[in-house]
């Protein structure tokens, strides 16, 4: 029987047999304004409220901004402060992967959110130094190979996901899609590295506002295949019952 991590998002867990497989890595991808960060923050808060140790690694906001966002949706960070840690790291730091690894080693987390991978892929093209260099990287210090920022970012991303998998936590990675572009993420590789993919969409029609999500991949689970409409209200994400497209 597959152990699962519930999301606490009403109506969502029944779409994936009760929750995400424990220890899996999920990509939550979408264009700006589709609710990616809210989706992941709600999962982290819910699990922290159930006594699980949770970590929200924020590479884009200040910790108080995320706490304010939780407050806006009726989630009280102070109630789960012993179980939910919000850590902000500088994505431009050349030692970013090492800093994240150090953070992961401090506590045995059950749920981890990384927001977002674009901060890694588009960060400065400086390789980490020291004991973590691969043989290929060592060789390149003797016979240098020119690599652009995106290539270095992808190497960092692969290493980071490997480190996250090693924690055995259930991981949620926020990724950005480019409107109309090929692939499910801006970096075009994270969808192949993750076990699960939630694709989030925004549809504005006249004065109306619609959002939908689609479960594009869910290893070790049966799942809903179609687009499911949802709204973002004062209590967070709410699936629109019996509405799929």
The answer to whether 34 and 179 have CB atoms below 8 angstroms apart is no
Q: What is the CATH number of the domain that holds 28?
A: 3.40.50.300
Res 128: pLDDT: 44
Domain that holds residue 41: 4-244
* Mean pLDDT for all residues in the chain: 84
pLDDT tens digit sequence for 156-173: 788 889 999 999 999 999
CA pseudo-torsion sign 39, 44, 48, 51 = positive
Q: Dump pLDDT digits (tens) for 123-142.
A: 554 444 444 555 555 455 44
Q: Which has the closest alpha carbon to 17: 6, 28, 29?
A: 6
**Polymer length in residues for the chain:** 245
Question: Phi and psi at residue 23, in whole multiples of 5°?
Answer: 85, 0
Asked whether the beta carbons of 63 and 52 are under 8 A apart, the reply is no
Question: Cα(188)–Cα(184) distance, rounded to whole angstroms?
Answer: 7
Residue 8 CB partners (closer than 8 Å, separation 6+): 42, 43, 45, 46, 47, 49
Whether the predicted pLDDT of 232 surpasses 80:
yes
At residue 120, does pLDDT exceed 50? yes
For 158, how many CA atoms within 13 A lie in the half-sphere containing its CB? 10
pLDDT at residue 214 in the model: 95
Q: Taking each helix axis from N to C terminus, what angle separates 63-72 and 36-49, rounded to the nearest 10 degrees?
A: 80
Count of domains for the chain: 1
């Amino acid at each position: 029987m597959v152990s699962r991590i519930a999301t606490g998002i009403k109506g969502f867990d029944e779409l994936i047999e009760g929750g995400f497989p424990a220890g899996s890595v999920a990509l939550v991808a979408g264009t700006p304004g589709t609710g990616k960060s809210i989706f992941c923050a709600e999962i982290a808060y819910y699990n922290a409220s159930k006594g699980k140790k949770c970590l929200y690694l924020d590479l884009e906001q200040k910790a108080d901004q995320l706490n304010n966002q939780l407050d806006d949706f009726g989630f009280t960070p102070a109630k789960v402060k012993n179980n939910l840690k919000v850590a902000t790291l500088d994505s431009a730091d050349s030692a970013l992967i090492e800093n994240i690894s150090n953070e992961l080693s401090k506590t045995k987390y059950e749920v981890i959110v990384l927001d977002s991978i674009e901060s890694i892929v588009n960060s400065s093209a400086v390789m980490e130094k020291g004991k973590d260099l691969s043989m290929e990287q060592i060789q390149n210090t003797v016979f240098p190979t020119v690599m652009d920022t995106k290539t270095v970012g992808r190497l960092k991303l692969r290493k980071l996901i490997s480190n996250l998998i090693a924690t055995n936590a259930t991981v949620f990675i926020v990724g950005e899609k480019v409107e109309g572009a090929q692939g499910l993420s801006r970096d075009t590789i994270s969808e192949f590295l993750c076990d699960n993919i939630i694709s989030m969409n925004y549809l504005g029609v006249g004065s109306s506002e619609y959002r939908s999500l689609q479960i594009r991949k869910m290893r070790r689970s049966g799942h809903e295949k179609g687009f499911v409409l949802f709204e973002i209200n004062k209590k967070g994400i709410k699936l629109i019952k019996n509405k799929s497209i």
